Structure 1
């Protein structure tokens, strides 16, 4: 059962950012934004920590009491850092070890969610140890258009849309060599949408505990329960040459038209938001997450992936959805902070 800390404006919050993944640059931007927001909110003992092999020492040297995770991709969003923080008994934001690891691995995400009846595009997986069967694998694939993706990356790193069969084998081989595995997914024609889900805490004020004394009588915020809230749906209309919401479209201003709320019927909107919450629960996510989907022209919804530490940059989706829901960037950051915990 998740245990939640009590947090005051005196709490030492460590914003963990940067790291070692291919999404380092995005993480740096997310971290700096969240760090500045926490300072504006009055959490004056907030520190920035660029994650490296010295993370344990850095956390101890800074006497960090809460870890605010702004890490994206491998060695941060995949359960590794979460496991370390659990061992250190240091509360952190975002999902726990198992949920993070599952969501980072696209085939395992699909296996868990489809077992519960949740919809995905058809897909085919090959890993490095199966490379001897490469030619046979290629023969089993559907005709393009298809999406070729790494097994364990985010931010659309290494994702390609293949429309010519002559390019398919080469793209899969390159992905297999660079990332150790590839997933080939049938392309679904429709609207690209994304839905933020917040685990909304019911918060009460109580007496302070922890390493700081509170002789000034300042209140401490503590959890009394949670419920899930699906944010307004964001529709993404990328302008990049790739023909889908790729890395360039995600992190370059002006490269994507954002339709918020998405141009969906009221019934389809409710269906997609409920599916996002079901996905959150099925993976046992915590705090917040973002679920990417396709609202297919065939009238069906398809889950693409789950992001357990969504971007918090100036161009990121989650803050934009929150703003339409009446939640400012700083308010969103504080909600995330107050959802921190252990034993997730």
Structure 2
């Protein structure tokens, strides 16, 4: 008899933008891979009525929940609630636990934690910090949403030269609406951009699936991966930011430093299941973590799966490893209880 997997994702409103609707493509792809692996699959939508999803899962009693929920009530900040629900129901679930999602979904909290454990990350601050006199000093900054993801509102104008705290405070206040709420700013690292994809192993350590570089077109005025580069396929921004892997062979020392720092990040941030760590390198070659992605996008053409394919891993094998990790953690938790 086939075991049942529940693929749970957030409900997507009709006509939603690409960054929101992308979770549908993820759900379909993951479901297809699970069926290839011999699972019976039920796709479950989680909307504002959490009780509805709870009742559905109680009726299904799946052997595992594949957690693809990226937001609740249109807020990425609430996505950390889903592991709490799954654990309360006694169901194994894929990916990061609630405390880790809470930490990584708040970019400033994640930054503070990284700095406290010695992980390299650019100095950052939010509006409250500026009002309390914590201005890191003049220089070039990038203003981001603090808790929303998918590069919401991020474009060339997000990068700015700042001379004082009041100027940065005004810039964050002006961008609050377009960037989905509270903003933060961090020192802009003007250099190359990389990502490292990681997968949990049988002994709960991190396997490096591989690393990739975003190769920026040389004449780009501001070299960032903004909203259009991610979600407007065929746009100038998209065509100017190309994923590449050649540096791995050409620069083994850089590759080793990226992967070593990504492993340290996995351990210090308490990541599990699968993750992606994004870096920038400055002109001196120093590395800085700019984002920690717990439960990164698993769409077929997204960075995590592209990196896995480059490493010779079949997508179905990656999905199988993620599910196996969820089942192992659940068994371990039951034994420890």
| TM-score, normalisation: structure 2 | 0.81
In 1: Cα distance, 2:77 partner to 2:173 partner: 26
**1:85-100 pair list within 5 angstroms:** 85-100=86-101
1:162 and 2:149 matched: no
| Residue 284 (1) aligns with residue 270 (2) | yes
Equivalent residue pairs, number:
306
Give 1:165 shift.
5.5
Shift of 1:85: 1.0
**Structure 2 match to 1:227:** 205
Match of 1:55 in 2: 53
Change (3 A) 1:61 1:261: farther
* CA displacement 1:134-170 (0-9 Å, x = unmatched): 9x78xx4655532111111222123342236599555
Partners of 2:175 and 2:299 in 1: CA distance: 27
Paired residue for 1:29?
A: 25
In structure 2, what is the Cα distance between the partners aligned to 1:289 and 1:170?
34
Whether the aligned pair in 2 keeps the contact of 1:18 and 1:24 (CA below 8 Å) is no
Supply the distance in 2 between the matched residues of 1:327 and 1:76 (Cα, whole angstroms): 32
Q: Are the counterparts in 1 of residues 213 and 244 from structure 2 also a CA contact under 8 Å?
A: yes
Distance (Å, rounded) in 1 between the aligned partners of 2:152 and 2:180: 10
1:163-202 Cα offsets, whole Å, 9 max, x none, are 365995554114445644221111101111110011122x
- The answer to whether the Cα contact below 8 Å between 1:251 and 1:316 also exists between their aligned partners in 2 is no
Please provide the CA RMSD for this pair.
2.9
Distance 1:235 1:59 in 2: 39
Task: Specify which of 244, 247, 264 is matched with residue 259 of structure 1.
Answer: 244
Counterparts of residues 174-213 of structure 1 (less than 5 Å): 174-176=174-176, 179-201=180-202
Q: Is the 8 A contact 1:71 1:77 kept in 2?
A: no
Greater RCO, CA 8 A, separation 6+? 1
Tell me, yes or no, if the aligned pair for 2:77 and 2:106 is still in contact at 8 Å. Answer: no
- Cα pair 2:77 2:105 within 8 Å, conserved: no
Q: Which residue of 316, 324, 334 corresponds with 1:330?
A: 316
Structure 1 segment 278-317 matched on structure 2, within 5 A: 278-317=264-303
Which region of structure 1 is more displaced relative to structure 2, 74-83 or 152-161?
74-83
Question: Is this contact kept in 1: 2:190–2:223, CA < 8 A?
Answer: no
Pick the structure with more helix per residue.
2
Quick check: 1:142–1:186 contact (8 Å CA) kept in 2?
Answer: no
The 8 Å contact of residues 18 and 25 in structure 1, kept in 2 or not, is answered as no
Q: Measured at CA, do residues 165 and 295 of structure 1 come closer, stay the same or move farther in structure 2, by a change above 3 Å?
A: closer
User: Relative to 1, partners in 2 of residues 1:310 and 1:261: Cα closer, same or farther, differing over 3 Å?
Assistant: farther
CA distance in 1, matches of 2:245, 2:210: 7
Q: Is the 8 A contact 1:71 1:309 kept in 2?
A: no
Match of 1:70 among 68, 71, 79: 68
**Is the 2:198–2:210 contact (alpha carbons within 8 Å) kept by the matching residues of 1?**
no
1:339 and 2:332 matched: no
1:12 corresponds to 2:4: yes
User: By how many angstroms is 1:227 displaced?
Assistant: 3.1
- Once the two structures are TM-superposed, the CA of residue 40 in structure 1 deviates from its matched residue by 2.0
TM-score w.r.t. the length of structure 1 is 0.79
Asked whether the equivalents of residues 20 and 75 of structure 1 are also in contact (C-alpha less than 8 Å), the reply is no
Pairing 1:105–2:100 present: no
- The worse-fitting range, judged by mean Cα deviation, of 71-80 and 191-200 is 71-80
Q: Distance in 2 between matches of 1:111 and 1:61?
A: 41
Change (3 A) 1:83 1:241: farther
Does the 8 Å CA contact 2:76/2:105 hold for their aligned counterparts?
A: no
Match in the other structure for 1:271: 257
Deviation at 1:63, TM superposition (A): 2.8
| 1:233 positional shift | 1.2
Q: Secondary structure at the match of 1:68?
A: strand
Where do 5+ consecutive residues of structure 1 fail to align?
1-8, 202-224
1:311 is paired with a residue whose SS is: coil
Moved more, 315-324 or 20-29: 20-29
Relative to 1, partners in 2 of residues 1:262 and 1:174: Cα closer, same or farther, differing over 3 Å?
farther
Give 1:172's aligned residue. 172
1:237 aligned onto 2:229? no
